[in-house]
Structure 1
Amino acid sequence: MSNESARRSPDGAWLAITGLLLLSALPVIGGVLRLGDIPSAGAVRPVASSIAAVAHIVGMTLFCLLGAFQFSPALRSRRRWHRAAGRVLIPVGFVAALGAAWLAVFFGGPPDQLPLAMVRLVFAAAMTVSLALGTAAIVRRDFAAHGDWMTRAFAIGVGNGTQALAVLLWTVPLGDVDADGETWLVATGTLLTALVAEAVIHRRAVRRGRATAAGEALVS
């Protein structure tokens, strides 16, 4: 959506932000509850893994909640806000992703949950790469690529909410799932979010192409 069209339909933009915040609320609430369990789990979990768990939960909470507002064209048009938020989002995004990667690599849970840990490792790696490419793009002032890569990183982050929603929608009518079922639901939830992100990125590319064509037509 262009800034002009966004100003004509602010309700649509804020509706999308509200949806992202609600989607983020599921893992945020779960993360806050898990923070209370970390001290008691410290007796059996290495200190480094406890630190990684806290870093992941806090980092992902900030990344998802603050990142949702970056999808507001009105706020994005305020460059001071967008840059200030970005200076927070990129570091906390790296903290969240690397914390998740640490927990997966040094997984110490039941053997049947190892596949789930590996799925989380794949997504953590993808989020880290997206953040790195987004950072490199903004350094070379390629704003379009920066926005695309940050959208992909945010999709993986907010995918935790989609994962929780997928598990909830499955377990409420059908009952609990085993470790293999949870792995498939988690993977499916995040992949669906990633597909939505790619659709958003494609729409942006189409709009940029139209804007470029219109500009060339005016010049010619």
Structure 2
Amino acid sequence: MTTTQTPTAARVRARTGWPAVAGLLLLSALPILGGVLRLEELGTDPASAPSPAIAGLIVAHIVGMSVYCLLGAFQFSPALRGRRAWHRRAGRVLIPAGMVGALASIALAVFFSGPADEFALAIVRIAFAVPMLVFLVLATLAIARRRFATHGAWMTRAYAIAITGGTQALVLIVWSVVGGETSIVSETWLVGVGFVINSLVAEGIIRRRLRRG
């Protein structure tokens, strides 16, 4: 007599990818919360509000990146990626949202109007917003050529940059606990560290996918 064995809870979690999705959503929550507070500040403090053009770029950046980070987290679920219709519909929202967020970030850095000591921080952010935009363009070209593995690799790299705000917040928190208060110089370096950490993790994920074939 044979018995049918049900999958273990660990195997189910690995197949659905929900632990990874939940972790990415939590990591996204930190920069999104900061963005919501920034939008609230723009609406409640007209005296310190930027010009309409800059305010529009800020809104576009926050909304675009928020959509990209939240919806993009679900693309790391193998179960959802297996549903081709859902995956395609999500991608048609993700790529434009990511491009809008990256373009707005680049524009905000190009037309930087903040304190002079924060200019280096703006340059660091543009140095990663440009690659994110390039990765999204390459991902679009790859899917048009039906190169699915290449498309997934470029999208993973772009997402790693988009979600860096959460990693940066964690790095800054750890640094504040261990090393005390941060200056604008140390904050600039730590923001760069957050980008590097996420990029390395993304490359590890891509290589693991390639090994699995």
TM-score (norm 2): 0.91
Structure 1 residues 194, 98: CA separation in 2 closer, same or farther (over 3 Å shift)? same
Structure 1 residues 42, 105: CA separation in 2 closer, same or farther (over 3 Å shift)? farther
Aligned to 2:29: 25
1:16 aligns with 2:55: no
Tell me by how many angstroms 1:175 deviates: 2.9
Residues in 1 aligned to 2:84 and 2:50: alpha-carbon distance in whole angstroms: 43
Unpaired runs of at least 5, structure 1: 209-220
Aligned to 1:212: none
Task: Give deviations 1:175-202, integer Å, cap 9, x for gaps.
Answer: 3211110001100011101100001111
Count residues in correspondence.
203
1:119 aligns with 2:116: no
Q: How does 1:47-126 map to 2 (within 5 A)?
A: 47-126=52-131
1:107 partner SS: coil
Residues in 2 aligned to 1:83 and 1:63: alpha-carbon distance in whole angstroms: 14
Task: Give deviations 1:113-157, integer Å, cap 9, x for gaps.
Answer: 111000000111011000000001011111011000000000001
Q: How does 1:71-220 map to 2 (within 5 A)?
A: 71-208=76-213
Query: 8 Å contact 1:42–1:50 — kept in the other structure?
Result: no
Tell me by how many angstroms 1:43 deviates: 5.0
Aligned to 1:216: none
Letter in 1 for 2:34: G
Identity across matched positions, percent = 54
Q: How does 1:36-55 map to 2 (within 5 A)?
A: 36-39=40-43, 40=45, 45-55=50-60
Letter in 1 for 2:165: N
Structure 1 residues 183, 41: CA separation in 2 closer, same or farther (over 3 Å shift)? farther
1:9 partner SS: helix
